[in-house]
Amino acid sequence: MVQHTSPLRLRFGFTAFVGLLTIVLLTAPAPTASGSPYGINAHIPRAEVLDEIAEAGIGWIRIDFVWALVELGRGEFDWSRYDRLIEDAEVRGLRVFATLQGTPQWATSGTLFNGVPDDPRDWQDFCYRAASRYRGRIHAWGLWNEPNLGRFWEGSRDEYVDEILIPGADGIRAADPDAKIVAADLAHLSSGNWDDWLGQVIRDAGALIDVVAHHVYPGGSGYWEVTENLDEDPEWPWDPPSVREVLSDNGWFDRPFWLTETGLESDDHGEASQANFYTGLLTDWYGPARSRGWVARLFFYHIMDDPRFPTITFGILEAPPSMARKPAWQAYDQFIQENAVDDAELIAAQVPEFLQPGDEESIRLEFRNTGTNTWIADETVWLDVRLHPVLGELTGGIIDPGGSVPPGQTLTAEYRLAVDPAWTPTTRFEAPFFARLVGPDGWHFGDAAYQKISLHRSPPPTIDRHPENQEVVPSGSATFSVSARSETWIAYRWRHNSVPLVDDHRLSGANTPELRVAEVGPDLLGDFDCVVTNSAGSVASQPASLQRMRSARRPGRRHTAAQKLTEEWLLHRYGLGAGTSREDHGDRSRPHPDRRRSP
């Protein structure tokens, strides 16, 4: 096994240390549905639709996870549709990317679905509850769909970042640290100022997200138009930038990027053209002779036509009841079956959160081979590990995998990090750690490990006693407590479902080691934890749940309006809601002038 360290040109502008694992690529059988870069949009699909997705070998589905369809009143939840959907996806080996969106009317003074929440804490609470309920089962969470279009988001760009993206990411991270946080799924329209939006999202919230996602449709029928908008430099000064240019300018290009919507309508362009679009775009990005490969996952739009919207034909299946497979379904299936692919899932990342001068800590990474190529040592695939030099010396590398890492097996890397004992910081310093696999063509692929490491001359707080679970009767009270110690000053902040609390008529002690909760109703049920902070940083206690006593539980109220809300959501999602038209909002069913470059 060859291992060495060498400097690279870095996104962060500092010296990196790189452990190399080189690998021979052997063609293996087609990927299982549980691991591939191939995805498709499916809204809220039924089981028979998921069967067609799995049959084609498509590994990922993107679904609409609509707040208004789950929390019909504050604290009143109906998770049944998503419970069934996630179970159906699991048994078929499908990975789920769920886009959270859709404001309930009770939560906004604006419009149902696209109104700005009156209180962003309601949104953060919902994001936390969703990620907690489906922890380890929904693998990636998006935070709104196309917020740069008015029909999906009534607020400003700042409101999206401050009231949707940041609180939503905080809620998801607290509930499921292993889930990917994806943003911002922007529409690639100059009328939507996509480049300004994308730049601000990365600058203001890049440290909170794992994946940048974007939507690009062709202006006509050519797959090359999508590739051009993603990857090619503008030809004329008045042309808009490529996605790659915006990512590079904002320091994101080496980190994961997903194309989460693109497609072509079969009625407008013909079924043969739709199939050619699929084959051409897949070949550009995942074919054997590709010259580019930085789109880690690609989600086409859409799996199936809907008989309620007969003029919208992005589906690769015809509308029910026939659900006949179009040539595009066959093209997608054939490409997946015939082409090898590199993909990797990060299954473990042991990286220290806090360091002091003189510390020696271990770093351990495990990647599962979820592609179709077998990795064999000493050839062409390597692990790119990046570390700020002020953190100290990094030694170690790939553990010999015994000759090869076939699909389904894991690759392990172990490093030793020694911090200079003479280093004497006067304030807390944060430095990023980044690691990702690189393929034989030089492109990163699969998941990445990313974490900020905090350095300080004193240690972080130590929590000696964590809060305990509580059960209460309706309108009852509960008390949570935590015990912690610190070498420096110490501060406490209690949270409910990741939302920071303040004292009011029902809560007291929000900034002390003991929190008292009174008049408990549905809105206060859930998880409570305490964030303990000192000069070195913050540590969160283990969460404690507050639930009703079993004898006092009330049966869930049946919401007769749920089906009506679902219909309204689909109308809204397709751009056919009240007061809107497809022409007003960048019709998906015909070329939009903003999607074309100036001649």
Mean pLDDT, consecutive 10-residue segments, the chain of 599 residues?
A: 28 32 35 68 96 96 97 93 97 97 97 96 98 97 97 96 98 96 96 95 96 96 95 83 96 94 97 98 90 91 94 96 97 95 92 93 94 74 86 86 86 93 85 90 90 93 97 94 96 98 97 97 94 96 92 48 75 59 36 33
Q: Which two tokens stand for residue 317?
A: 């299946």
Sign of CA dihedral 213, 574, 101, 83: negative
Contact status, residue 516 vs residue 508, Cβ threshold 8 Å = yes
Residue that the structure tokens 């069934």 belong to = 84
Q: For residue 9, what pLDDT is reported?
A: 25
Q: For residue 28, what pLDDT is reported?
A: 37
Residue type for 349, please? A
* Among 318, 225, 52, residue whose Cα is nearest residue 593: 225
- β strands within 125-281, DSSP E: 140-143, 180-187, 211-215, 257-261
Q: For residue 350, what pLDDT is reported?
A: 96
- List, edge to edge, every strand of the sheet that includes 429-438: 354-355, 444-455, 429-438, 382-387
Q: For residue 4, what pLDDT is reported?
A: 29
What is the dihedral angle through the alpha carbons of 322, 564, 133, 53, rounded to the nearest 10 degrees?
10
Q: Which residues, 6+ apart, have CB-to-CB distance to 115 below 8 Å?
A: 103, 105, 107, 108, 109, 154
Q: Which residues, 6+ apart, have CB-to-CB distance to 379 below 8 Å?
A: 22, 23, 24, 25, 440
Q: Which two tokens stand for residue 312?
A: 């919208």
CA separation for the pair 220, 593 (Å, rounded): 10
First to last CA, the chain: 53
Q: For residue 8, what pLDDT is reported?
A: 28
CA separation for the pair 332, 346 (Å, rounded): 26
CA separation for the pair 487, 498 (Å, rounded): 26
β-bridge mates for residue 481, sequence order: 514
Residue type for 537, please? G
Q: For residue 402, what pLDDT is reported?
A: 77
User: Can you state the percent helix, strand and coil of the chain, rounding each to 5?
Assistant: 25, 30, 45
